[in-house]
Structure 1
Amino acid sequence: MLNKTMTEALNRQLNEELYSAYLYLSMSSYAGSIGLKGAANWFMVQYQEEMAHFMKFYTYINNQGEHVVLLPLAAPPSEFDSLLDMFEKTLKHEQHITSCINDLVDLALREKDHATSIFLQWFVTEQIEEEENDRDLIAKLKLIGDNGQGLLMLDNEMGTRVFVPPAQTGA
């Protein structure tokens, strides 16, 4: 059973996850429009992951006897300076999400909501992976610099990424 404070906080995070999906969908479109089809694929997979995260929150809130409240979403950016700029913005965004998840865990512990604390542990682990992936791609893009051939090789590598739905853990 969720109390009002926890329900409201989970709903805010659910909407953060939806915005994340919106952001990555925008990045996918932009990458495709500048000829980086592999990067477009990478961001599309990221969009799919964020929608899966959204659905995890959606299901958890509903399974706890509460209901989801969808809030208006801000428009994400639609143009970027470079692929490096996109990944720097991605890392900054994921760091924001990590902070939000950490705040939720803190709240769950203060509220003695052990079920929600356990539910959130999956997201704590997921955020470690999200930030690591972004830092790795930023490092590669910095190594590549203005080398078009290197960028094409990385773009081809990014085109091989596939969406793997997260395991269902009862929530």
Structure 2
Amino acid sequence: MALDAKVADLLNTQINKELYSAYLYLTFADYYEDRGLKGFANWYMIQVQEETAHAKILRRYLLDNEHQVKMLAIAQPDKTFDNDLAPLEAALEHERYITASINECYQAAYDVHDFRTMQVLDWFVKEQGEEEANASDMVKNMELFGSDAKGLFQLDREYQTRVFNAPTMPM
């Protein structure tokens, strides 16, 4: 079965959103680097790798389904921050936006009974649940411990230990 044109276009647009996410999170990493919070910067550099991997998964899926991938322009992130909580809150808001976008792709696939695409998107739905939970936890941790120098130091140390694990999903 050929990939539905609307589904394919939404997935192609999702590639762009994933790459924008990487671009956005790179600016978050830069903010924290400038602040001397290398653990927070590390967290977002790992996010950059994850978002890029997500784009590659969708790219491969489109190519495997004989659909031409169109690389769209990536918008310039326009956020500036005046405190250490602000990037974390922006990340949570952005992850919720990405979840809504994945849900839109899923709904389009559902509408045309594209079960193969739905199966691929099942992985993204689960992944977004994890992304939102992590972003929410980071906000809560900063609210609880970030105003205390020792607490902020501990959080930064914890985030320094994060390593990239390439996503694996059933295809």
- The TM-score, its normalising length taken from structure 1, stands at 0.95
Aligned partners of 1:26 and 1:77 also within 8 Å: no
Q: Following TM superposition, by how much is the alpha carbon of 1:98 offset from its aligned partner in structure 2, in angstroms?
A: 0.4
The letter for the 1-side match of 2:7 is M
Query: What is the letter of the counterpart of residue 154 of structure 1?
Result: L
Q: Is 1:59 the counterpart of 2:24 in the alignment? A: no
Aligned to 1:120: 121
Aligned residues: 170
Aligned-residue offset at 1:102: 0.7
What's the Cα RMSD here? 1.1
In the alignment, does 2:25 pair up with 1:27? Answer: no
Matches within 5 A, 1:18-167: 18-77=19-78, 79-167=80-168
- Which consecutive aligned stretches of 4+ in structure 1 deviate over 3 angstroms post-superposition? none
Q: Normalized against structure 2, the TM-score is what? A: 0.95
Query: Once the two structures are aligned, what percentage of the paired residues are identical?
Result: 42
Cα distance change of structure 1 residues 168 and 129 upon mapping to structure 2, 3 Å threshold: closer
- Once residues 103 and 78 of structure 1 are traced to their aligned partners in structure 2, the CA distance between those partners, rounded to angstroms, is 25
Please tell me the residue identity of whatever aligns with 1:111. V
In 1, are the aligned partners of 2:15 and 2:58 still within 8 Å (CA)?
yes
What is the letter of the counterpart of residue 61 of structure 1? L
Report the Cα distance in structure 2 between the residues aligned to 1:70 and 1:78, rounded to whole angstroms: 23
Does the CA-based 8 Å contact 2:123-2:169 persist in structure 1? Answer: no
One-letter amino acid matched to 2:86: D
